[in-house]
């Protein structure tokens, strides 16, 4: 009886739940960094139970910006020769080369390392090699200066893939212990502040940085982060001019920091695996678990399916090959932008909406809604951060297709909101109208922008 009652209730009222799922998803997305954060901790026993004994000493005499070799393998005195820690040195920056050369001298004299350290001296214009040996982790030295305490810990790989959280937490704690001021937000373009105490905005900025990754590719993104945990230590460009200490002992502190990370990796019996590989930092010391955040995406998908069901109840479902032309609109819009700029894109978008009003005025939105739901489901695995930000936008856009909102004022608001959301991703976050270099670019190009065009066409249908 209960099963039958649930079935009948879902059948008759399932299409009415879309606003509830949407509001619940947005509320959860906003409240998680406020009410449901966890303090970072190191779960890996080999790291958590040891304080690395690593004294680099003074490295001033070893600071040499000369690139002497493309690769250098420094053998550990107790290493069996089958495991390495990979250190990539960006030779675009003499400071990184100087630090690497100093570290080679320090590590070469160390007697207790049980793994080898493989240094790769590479520049940003060449393809970075991927280690063939068993690699405990990889560290990128991307420092433009050794005289600034403000540093970046770049944790985002291709498509927002993150290293194991234990590795990142280890680097952050060692950086703080050596009096550095690390940040996770350096990947975010056009960043103007780094207030670690503004939890929600730090959390949202990190999500935006993950979405923006295809517009800021880094050479180390070629390293497969799912198999080789990788972080990069970079100079923080926000504080480059105001925080220089040219006569300080900061080079020694940098050497100490990197040596501590290497010694910690040396203590591992296997690769990092105890902690999570997906997390959302609210600050350096607090984070939101993705196990909780993924329910936001699930609620957005439920909202879209509920809207789809309401559309099906009202109009049935229609399948037409003309739907493919909707997915071509970002290609045309990108071509228009190259020729005439943003004003022409706005005019072209309006023209696209009018075209679909004329060609597909009789077609319901079932195919578009199903496409949205399927694409958003894939983001749960492919790029979770994009699923949270862009998924919320897509769910808001298609919510205006719900049969309860099929009136001119509501649809006018829907067209304005949908266009504003497309503007947010394309203009504010600087994602291309037509992009195929990453998951977030694909989602914005083939979901967010077509949604805005389609909802504009539905408004024109009501106005005619």
Say what the pLDDT of residue 166 is.
87
- Mean pLDDT for 20-35 is 92
Comparing 35 with 44, the larger pLDDT belongs to 35
Closest by CA to 368, choosing from 407, 323, 425, 301, is 323
Q: Is the pLDDT of residue 196 over 70?
A: no
Q: How far apart are CA 189 and CA 342, in angstroms?
A: 20
Least confident interval from 143-147, 287-291, 318-322: 318-322
- Mean pLDDT for 292-308 is 91
Tell me the average pLDDT of the chain: 84
Percentage of residues in the chain having pLDDT higher than 70: 86
Fold of 60-277: Aminopeptidase (3.40.630)
Asked if 157 and 163 touch (Cβ cutoff 8 Å), the reply is: yes
pLDDT digits (tens, 9 = 90+) for 97-145: 999 999 999 888 887 787 889 999 999 889 999 988 888 899 999 999 8
Q: Tokens 């675009």, residue?
A: 92
CA distances from 90 to 144, 187, 233, 234 (A): 9, 17, 11, 10
Q: Phi/psi at 261 (nearest 5 deg)?
A: -65, -45
pLDDT tier at 77 (50, 70, 90 boundaries)?
confident
Say what the pLDDT of residue 240 is.
61
- Mean pLDDT for 327-348 is 89
pLDDT digits (tens, 9 = 90+) for 211-222: 988 888 889 998
Q: Is the pLDDT of residue 193 over 60?
A: no
Count of C-beta atoms within a 10 Å radius of residue 448: 23
Say what the pLDDT of residue 446 is.
93
Least confident interval from 13-22, 152-161, 171-180, 266-275: 266-275
pLDDT tier at 7 (50, 70, 90 boundaries)?
very low
pLDDT tier at 420 (50, 70, 90 boundaries)?
very high
pLDDT tier at 335 (50, 70, 90 boundaries)?
very high
Element (H, E) at 366: helix 366-382
Q: Is the pLDDT of residue 65 over 70?
A: yes
Q: How far apart are CA 122 and CA 130, in angstroms?
A: 12
Q: Please, what is the angle between helix 18-35 and helix 384-399, to 10°?
A: 140
- Mean pLDDT for 27-37 is 90
Comparing 188 with 173, the larger pLDDT belongs to 173
Q: How far apart are CA 356 and CA 325, in angstroms?
A: 9
Closest by CA to 392, choosing from 26, 30, 31, 27, is 26
- Mean pLDDT for 337-341 is 87
Mode of pairing for the β-strands spanning 71-74 and 134-142: unpaired
Asked if 274 and 44 touch (Cβ cutoff 8 Å), the reply is: yes
Residues 6+ positions from 208 with CB-CB distance below 8 Å: 188, 389, 429
Question: Where are the domains positioned within the chain?
Answer: 13-35+290-463, 60-277
Asked if 123 and 91 touch (Cβ cutoff 8 Å), the reply is: yes
Q: How far apart are CA 75 and CA 411, in angstroms?
A: 67
Tokens of 354: 């009018």
pLDDT digits (tens, 9 = 90+) for 442-457: 999 999 999 999 999 8
Residues 6+ positions from 185 with CB-CB distance below 8 Å: 152, 191, 194, 202, 205, 206, 209
* DSSP E strands, 57-156: 71-74, 83-90, 116-122, 134-142, 150-154
Say what the pLDDT of residue 45 is.
62
Element (H, E) at 234: strand 230-235
Least confident interval from 19-33, 350-364, 420-434: 350-364
Q: How far apart are CA 323 and CA 320, in angstroms?
A: 6
Q: How far apart are CA 449 and CA 426, in angstroms?
A: 9
Least confident interval from 59-68, 88-97, 278-287, 306-315: 306-315
Q: Is the pLDDT of residue 380 over 60?
A: yes
pLDDT tier at 314 (50, 70, 90 boundaries)?
low
Asked if 187 and 212 touch (Cβ cutoff 8 Å), the reply is: yes
């Amino acid at each position: 009886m209960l099963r039958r009652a649930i079935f009948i209730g879902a059948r008759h009222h399932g299409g009415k739940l879309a606003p509830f799922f949407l509001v619940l998803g947005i509320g959860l997305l906003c409240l998680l960094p406020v009410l449901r954060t966890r303090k970072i901790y190191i779960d890996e026993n080999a790291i958590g139970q040891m304080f690395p004994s690593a004294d680099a000493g003074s490295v001033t005499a070893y600071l040499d910006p000369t690139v002497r070799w493309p690769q250098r393998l420094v053998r550990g005195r107790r290493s069996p020769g089958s495991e390495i820690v990979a250190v990539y040195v960006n030779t675009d920056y003499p400071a990184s080369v100087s630090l690497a050369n100093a570290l080679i001298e320090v590590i070469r004299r160390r007697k207790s390392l049980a793994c080898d350290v493989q240094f790769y001296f590479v520049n940003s214009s060449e393809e970075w090699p991927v280690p063939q040996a068993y690699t405990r982790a990889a560290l990128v030295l991307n420092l433009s200066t050794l005289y600034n305490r403000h540093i970046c810990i770049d944790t985002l790989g291709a498509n927002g893939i993150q290293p194991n959280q234990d590795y990142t937490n280890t680097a952050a704690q060692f950086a703080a212990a050596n009096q550095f001021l690390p940040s996770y937000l350096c990947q975010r373009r056009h960043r103007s502040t780094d207030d670690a105490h503004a939890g929600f905005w730090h959390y949202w900025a990190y999500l935006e940085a993950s979405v923006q990754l295809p517009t800021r590719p880094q050479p180390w993104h070629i390293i497969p982060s799912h198999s080789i945990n990788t972080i990069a230590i970079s100079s923080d460009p926000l504080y480059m001019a105001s925080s220089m200490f040219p006569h300080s002992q900061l080079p020694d502190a940098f050497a100490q920091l990197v040596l501590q990370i290497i010694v910690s990796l040396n203590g591992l019996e296997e690769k990092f695996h105890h902690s999570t590989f997906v997390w959302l930092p609210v600050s350096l010391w607090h984070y939101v678990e993705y196990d909780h955040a993924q329910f936001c995406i699930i609620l957005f998908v439920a909202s879209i399916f509920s809207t789809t069901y309401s559309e099906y109840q009202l109009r049935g479902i229609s399948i037409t090959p003309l739907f493919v032309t909707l997915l071509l609109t970002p290609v045309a819009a990108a071509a228009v932008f190259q020729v005439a700029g943003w004003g022409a894109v706005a005019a072209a978008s309006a023209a696209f909406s009018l075209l679909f009003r004329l060609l597909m005025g009789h077609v319901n939105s079932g195919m578009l809604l199903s496409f949205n739901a399927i694409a958003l489901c894939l983001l749960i695995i492919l790029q979770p951060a994009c699923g949270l930000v862009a998924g919320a936008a897509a769910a808001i856009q298609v919510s205006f297709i719900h049969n309860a909102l099929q009136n001119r004022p509501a649809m006018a608001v829907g067209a304005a909101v949908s266009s504003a959301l497309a503007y947010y991703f394309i203009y504010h976050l600087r994602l291309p109208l037509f992009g195929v270099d990453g998951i977030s670019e694909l989602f914005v190009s083939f979901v967010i922008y077509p949604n805005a065009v389609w909802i504009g066409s539905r408004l024109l249908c009501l106005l005619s």
